[in-house]
């Protein structure tokens, strides 16, 4: 059995307008120590799939699956206290809403350290500063003392990464973890995640829109469209010679040197071009 095992995952939202299926039979298997990428259409259910691993889907969501497990934990038992933080930590897509506006960054990370480690106060403080340094925050003391609104978007994102790492979880879900970062800091974060994988055997589910980043860090990748996985395989192979027209269309849609002044191909247009159907 793989470390993260998702078999036939379905998420249906019970909306006032009727039920809406947003994840339709997703199956994935991620081995321990693997970095597994998810790319795909905006709104295709990437974040929803991730949040089922922590029991953090919205109230209106009905989740079902044949298998849904991480490590030893059968998530269908819904014993979330044993899972969150200790087994699975998540870097949320939207750092500003994931951080609490009324506590300093330092206080928020310290709360996680208190809950999930045995460290005493002094050791926690040292660990806090070490984490902030590791994620590339230039002035850890200042950042620790700041409230979320006092730091920039990219600093918030790094603070959130530090917080996710602070619990010492075995599995990390990173939902667009580097979107707010400049590429130099991004390179540092990607190197950090890889080294944590190499040293601690961290298993990482990595959601990104950036195909270049996916090809750089991920062992495998799954491509999502309309709540389904349309293609999966080794990251190099999928991104170098994609089978599915949607994946090919994604590759074509990225702006490149020389594309200025031209109309970028979008998926709807591309699907026709490649003979696929945009159902």
Ligand X SMILES: Nc1ncnc2c1ncn2[C@@H]1O[C@H](COP(=O)(O)OP(=O)(O)OP(=O)(O)O)[C@@H](O)[C@H]1O
Smallest distance, Å, CB 114 to ligand X?
25
| CA distances from residue 108 to 59, 104, 111 in whole angstroms, order as listed | 25, 6, 5
* Segment contacting ligand X by CB under 6 A, of 80-88, 103-111, 151-159, 196-204: 151-159
**Residues at the site binding another protein, with contacts judged by CB under 8 A:** 17, 39-43, 47, 58, 93-97, 106, 138, 141-142, 144-146, 150-155, 158, 176, 179-187, 209-216, 236, 239-240, 249-257, 259-260, 263-267, 270
| Residue 47 near Mg ion by CB under 5 A | yes
| Residue 15 near ligand X by CB under 6 A | yes
Instruction: Return the half-sphere exposure (C-beta side, CA atoms, 13 A cut-off) of residue 261.
Output: 2
Q: How many residues at the interface with Mg ion, by CB under 5 A?
A: 4
- Which CB atom, from 40 or from 242, has the smaller least distance to ligand X? 40
Q: Which residue is nearest to Mg ion (CB)?
A: 47
| CA distances from residue 34 to 12, 49, 151, 217 in whole angstroms, order as listed | 29, 18, 32, 10
| Residue 46 near ligand X by CB under 6 A | yes
The H-or-E segment that residue 248 falls in is helix 245-253
Q: How many residues at the interface with ligand X, by CB under 6 A?
A: 22
Smallest distance, Å, CB 164 to Mg ion?
16
Between vectors from CA 197 to CA 10 and to CA 145, what angle results, nearest 5°?
Answer: 90
- Which CB atom, from 120 or from 152, has the smaller least distance to ligand X? 152
Bridge partners, 228 (sequence order):
225
Q: Alpha helices, DSSP H only, in 84-234? A: 95-98, 105-116, 121-134, 140-145, 153-166, 183-200, 211-217
Task: Work out what residue 251 binds among Mg ion, ligand X, another protein, none; the CB cut-off runs from 5 to 8 Å by kind.
Answer: another protein
Smallest distance, Å, CB 3 to Mg ion?
22
- CA–CA separation, 22 and 150 (whole Å): 36
- Which CB atom, from 47 or from 157, has the smaller least distance to Mg ion? 47
Alpha carbon 127 to chain centroid, angstroms: 24
Task: Phi first, then psi: give them for residue 140, nearest 5 degrees.
Answer: -55, -40
Contacts with ligand X, residue ranges (CB under 6 A): 13, 15, 22, 40, 42-48, 58, 60, 93, 149-155, 180
* Interacting residue ranges for Mg ion, rule: CB under 5 A: 47, 93, 152-153
């Amino acid at each position: 059995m793989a470390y993260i095992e998702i078999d036939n995952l379905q998420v249906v939202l019970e909306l006032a307008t009727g039920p809406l299926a947003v994840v339709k039979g997703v199956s994935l298997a991620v081995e321990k120590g693997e970095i597994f990428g998810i790319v795909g259409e905006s709104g295709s259910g990437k974040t929803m799939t991730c949040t089922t691993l922590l029991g953090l889907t919205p109230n209106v969501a009905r989740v079902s699956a044949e298998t849904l497990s991480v490590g030893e934990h059968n998530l269908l038992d819904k014993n979330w206290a044993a899972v969150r933080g200790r087994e699975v930590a998540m870097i949320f897509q939207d750092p500003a809403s994931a951080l609490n506006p009324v506590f300093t960054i330092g206080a928020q990370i310290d709360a996680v350290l208190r809950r999930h480690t045995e460290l005493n106060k002094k050791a926690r403080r040292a660990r806090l500063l070490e984490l902030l340094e590791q994620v590339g925050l230039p002035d850890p003391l200042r950042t620790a003392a700041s409230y979320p609104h006092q730091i920039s978007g990219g600093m918030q994102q790094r603070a959130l990464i530090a917080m996710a790492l602070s619990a010492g979880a075995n599995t990390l879900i990173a939902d667009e973890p580097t979107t707010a970062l400049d590429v130099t800091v991004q390179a540092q974060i990607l190197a950090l995640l890889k080294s944590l994988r190499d040293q601690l055997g961290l298993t990482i589910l990595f959601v990104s829109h950036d195909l270049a980043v996916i090809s750089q860090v991920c062992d495998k990748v799954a491509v999502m469209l309309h709540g389904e996985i349309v293609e999966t395989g080794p990251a190099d192979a999928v991104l170098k010679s994609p089978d599915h027209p949607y994946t090919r269309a994604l590759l074509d849609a990225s702006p490149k040197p020389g594309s200025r002044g031209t109309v970028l191909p979008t998926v709807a247009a591309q699907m026709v071009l490649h003979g696929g159907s945009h159902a």
